[in-house]
Amino acid sequence: MAVAAAHPNIALIKYWGNRDHALRLPSNGSISLTLGGLHTVTRVRFDARLAVDVVRIDRRPATPAEHARVASHLDLVRGLAGLAARAEVTSASDFPVGAGLASSASAFAALTLAATAAAGLDLGRAELSRLARRGSGSACRSIFGGFVEWRLGDDDASSFAEPLDESAAWPLADVIAIVSQSAKPVGSTEGHRLAESSPLQPARVASAPSRLAACRQAILEQDFARLAEVVELDCHLMHAVMQTSSPPLLYWAPASLAVMQAVRAWRAAGDPVCYTLDAGPNVHCVCPASTAGAVAARLRDVAGVVEVLTASAGGPAALLSPDDPRLALL
């Protein structure tokens, strides 16, 4: 048996679209910040007496779709370990499910680490990242802490994430303006398949290396103005692809746009804050950690914002000892 915890992450340069959907080989590289304070904790126990995998998520049985996705990830681990036994998987997250955070990133990072350890495998972090990628693309980044880059790679063996700055020497925060708690109508997995139907996707993919370079340099030089410019451009490009796919994906709510406009006005007035949105209407506002409290207070005053969550840089996915207080989540 093994228990692992992992954090979600927010992409500063987005993963959208795959070259190979089955292997989750992305169309472009991406860069993220791992979000501390928010966790998924997962316990895996292989048991030869089980006839099927038993999966519980957030203290309820997994839905058939969730069960199938977890079981096929366990199959990859069983294949690597030469193991036939089924497993009991218990997983829970401490951030609101309706928060629009990609819980699949923390979930598959924690599952990968717990399942490989429970199966007796001792994989290096690049191997863990590769394997986590197969469960959910963004999960390959949650194996690491701080600023992380998922390099495109050429194939299954070479597509994994690695730390850009795991200590996150630049203390940034993600202040999340929650404008809707309802589940998104089209999830990321389906969205990645639709990306290729947009006439804008080739242009977005072709220009990704220059945004990755600008983002890397902004992080290295702690240059907020440069970061803000490239993060918002990359977000707009991904949403332009989403909005021009067939069928189109419109993730923004009226309040999303209100927050985006407010953030641009604050920045124009000299405050270091910028935004990015994933496949949902909630707005991630990135700012120096020292100003996160002030940004959160302002966001609460924007009409349509129902809740504000703040996260600063978090560490890598980790195995937990049996007396870790985070086990109480399960």
Q: How far is the CB of 272 from ligand DP6 (least distance, A)?
A: 23
Decide whether 14 or 45 has the Cβ nearer to ligand DP6.
14
CA 174 centroid distance within chain: 13
Q: Which of 289, 287, 31, 276 is nearest to 164 (CA)?
A: 31
Q: How far is the CB of 140 from ligand DP6 (least distance, A)?
A: 8
Using the rule CB under 6 A, is 29 a contact of ligand DP6?
no
Q: H-helix or E-strand containing 41?
A: strand 40-47
Q: Which of 27, 116, 159, 188 binds ligand DP6 (CB under 6 A)?
A: 188
d(CA 298, CA 230): 23
Question: Which strands, in side-by-side order, build the sheet including 274-276?
Answer: 274-276, 283-288, 172-178, 307-312
Q: Which of 45, 192, 239, 284 binds ligand DP6 (CB under 6 A)?
A: 192
Helix (H, G, I), strand (E, B) or coil at 74: helix
Binding mask 97-126 for ligand DP6 (x = CB under 6 A): -----x-x----------------------
Beta-carbon contacts of residue 252 (< 8 Å; ≥ 6 apart):
239, 277, 281
Q: Under a CB-based contact definition with an 8 Å cutoff, are residues 143 and 112 in contact?
A: yes
Name the burial class of residue 283, with classes exposed (0-12), middle (13-18) and buried (19+) by CB atoms within 10 angstroms of its CB. buried
Using the rule CB under 6 A, is 137 a contact of ligand DP6?
yes
Decide whether 154 or 190 has the Cβ nearer to ligand DP6.
190
Decide whether 165 or 320 has the Cβ nearer to ligand DP6.
165
Using the rule CB under 6 A, is 35 a contact of ligand DP6?
no
Decide whether 31 or 119 has the Cβ nearer to ligand DP6.
31
Which segment (112-120, 157-165, 186-194, 204-212) binds ligand DP6 by CB under 6 A? Answer: 186-194
Decide whether 21 or 300 has the Cβ nearer to ligand DP6.
21
Q: Under a CB-based contact definition with an 8 Å cutoff, are residues 151 and 208 in contact?
A: no
d(CA 34, CA 40): 13
Tokens of 215: 């983002």
Q: Under a CB-based contact definition with an 8 Å cutoff, are residues 274 and 263 in contact?
A: yes
d(CA 48, CA 286): 47
Q: How far is the CB of 111 from ligand DP6 (least distance, A)?
A: 12
Decide whether 11 or 305 has the Cβ nearer to ligand DP6.
11
DSSP-assigned letter for residue 26: E
Using the rule CB under 6 A, is 138 a contact of ligand DP6?
yes
Q: How far is the CB of 108 from ligand DP6 (least distance, A)?
A: 7
End-to-end Cα spacing for the chain: 14
Name the burial class of residue 257, with classes exposed (0-12), middle (13-18) and buried (19+) by CB atoms within 10 angstroms of its CB. middle
Using the rule CB under 6 A, is 267 a contact of ligand DP6?
no
Q: Which of 27, 28, 30, 282 binds ligand DP6 (CB under 6 A)?
A: 30
Using the rule CB under 6 A, is 17 a contact of ligand DP6?
no
Decide whether 34 or 83 has the Cβ nearer to ligand DP6.
34
CA 9 centroid distance within chain: 4
Q: Which of 2, 5, 14, 234 binds ligand DP6 (CB under 6 A)?
A: 14
Q: How far is the CB of 322 from ligand DP6 (least distance, A)?
A: 30
Using the rule CB under 6 A, is 36 a contact of ligand DP6?
no
Interface ranges with ligand DP6 (CB under 6 A): 11, 14-16, 24, 30, 102, 104, 136-138, 188-189, 192, 278-279
